[in-house]
Amino acid sequence: MDKEQRSVLYRIIISALLFIAAFLIPVSGILEFALFALPYLLIGGDVLWGAAKNVLKGEIFDEKFLMSIATLGAFAIKEYPEAVAVMLFYQLGELFQDIAVGKSRKSISSLLNIRPDYAVVYEGGIEKRVSPKEVKTGDIIIVSPGEKVPLDGEIIEGFTSVNTSALTGESLPADKMPGDKVKSGFVNLTGLIKVRVEALYEESTVSKILNLVEKASGRKAKAENFITKFSRYYTPCVLYAAILIAVLPPLWFNDPFMVWINRALVFLVVSCPCALVVSVPLSFFAGIGGASRKGILIKGSNHLETLSKVKAFAFDKTGTLTKGSFIVNAVHPSEIPESELLEIAAAAESYSSHPAAEPIIKAYGNVIDKTRIEKTTVFAGMGLSAVIDGRTYYVGNTRLMDLAKAKWRPCHISGTIIHISEDDEYLGHIVINDQIKPDASDTIAKLKEKGINSTLMLTGDAWHTAKEIADKAGIENIRAELLPDQKVEALEELLSEGITTAYVGDGINDAPVLARADVGISMGAIASDAAIESADVVIMDDSLSKLPLTVNISRKTMKIVRQNIILSLGAKGIILLLGILGIANMWIAVIGDVGVMIIATLNAIRALKT
């Protein structure tokens, strides 16, 4: 409980004691009015002041206005205890709501604790503490045990264990050694390490996460937008209805005005849409907070709502269903020695970020003289060309070979085939293999258990390689050898059937299809900047097993939202009817209003538990 919440609690306690004292002291007239007015103003003064300020700004119809009118009306008809009780219970409900919101917010704001306070730059044997924003790529930083890793980079010296839970939700520490990557937001646990910085602060993992969290709160779900619009029209309708209840029956049936004014005041108290206005956004907030604790960042409640309706999942292959860590399985030269074919491929791939580049360079094993490379050109979804020592080489798939008019030959070994030609002269191919992630098949099985009717793989890789991975994972449909725009077209075919579809990917070429899907999900640990920016949901490690959990969280949250809408409207409708009929008095109205809000709020924070 923060300082402001404690202040409200003290006011509630003091007002309640004064309220009890007013009951016990046998007075009447102006003294009775004064005894009840004191706790009323103490507990409700800020509500009255807030309502007055909103009226001056033209914002008349809100819950504070309703509360003010109802309680001042109760004072006018000398129902002093009811007036004080309304304010007491209202403030108690508001305090309870604030505590619940704070609990949900803490789950998300805990992410803000990963923001680094400083970085220790090591230069010329001197350590200097600076702002992370001042550190440049290539700088060496020192991270001592207990400190946060301030920037993304590679360990060049030292062995340690790191806590990655703030980013990935993984509670177990991960061991790191020279050559391993570390991300900003990790906490160094055991040993001193030196890290070569690979990204500026603005491009670091921690900066991206904070930006995602800040943007998420502004993206409302349809249910939230409905509540906003509902409140805008509901409140004035309630006020006009209360006026009609107070005026028409006495005129029509010749009943006493005080009886119907009292019923109108009861109507106003019950009609405050607190439970609805509070619990629905709180449910979404709690759902997003619960997901963040598991290393799942959902960029807004609209995406959470859409995710609950998903019936089909489409997947990229490399780095999503597979580990993305290739090894060279075979080298099949055509007219040149094996070592020369590897040298050409390694030199051409030396400037490439494609997953195939690293294993080819590693298999070559020698230092690459990059001064020999005059120019490289990327052909999206096909490969690249490189001018080396004045000669033009093409390195990529069969479509690139067709473009170069080289007469390629197929390979009998299953895997990703990298073909190489010099202009139109075919030089041979290299076979590399990727391994399927161990949790891929279990993830697909669990998604199907949850009613995901269709699974689809969209990949730029060769058909036979895609088929092998799809069969192991249990994916039914395959679209292979696709360019980035063809991935979008393939997804649009699914969307045109009216099926709510999620796409899971990690590469730059996945950005267009991530943006086009109903819900784009990127694997944050290995995803490109473009993929993370385009996605609606970011899984902060590369664990596919988080996908069924994400679906669970979204569906549970939406179930809670629907429960709260039905509970709030149903309970209020019943008490409103009882109030009009004269069965429910002001006390029942107060208890009904605050009680429904407390129940709905308690129900909403269940979404925190995943």
Known catalytic residues are: 316
Rg of the chain over Cα atoms, rounded to whole angstroms, equals 32
CB 481 within 8 A of CB 461: yes
> Hey, is 120 helix, strand or coil?
strand
Which residues are CB-neighbours of 252 under 8 A, at least 6 positions away?
none
Distance CA 145, CA 51 (A): 53
Cα–Cα distance for residue pair 228/249, rounded to 1 Å: 32
End-to-end CA distance of the chain: 24
DSSP 152-169: -EEEEE--EEEE-HHHH-
Q: Residue 182 is encoded by which pair of tokens?
A: 């570390």
Q: How far apart are CA 403 and CA 392, in angstroms?
A: 13
What is the DSSP secondary structure assignment for residue 313, as one 8-state letter? E
Q: Is 425 helix (H, G, I), strand (E, B) or coil?
A: strand
Nearest Cα to Cα of residue 289 among 103, 99, 58: 103
H or E element at residue 341 = helix 338-349
**Which DSSP state fits 99?**
H
Adjacent-strand bridge partners of 386:
376, 393
- Position of tokens 């429910």? 584
Report CA 69 to chain centroid distance, whole Å: 40
Other Cβ atoms less than 10 A from the Cβ of 253: the count is 8
Distance CA 563, CA 390 (A): 70
- Please state, in angstroms and as integers, the Cα–Cα distance from residue 11 to each residue in 45, 91, 93, 555, following that order: 11, 9, 14, 39
Which tokens sit at 365? 């094993």
Q: How far apart are CA 40 and CA 32, in angstroms?
A: 12
Fill in the amino acid letter for 242. Answer: A
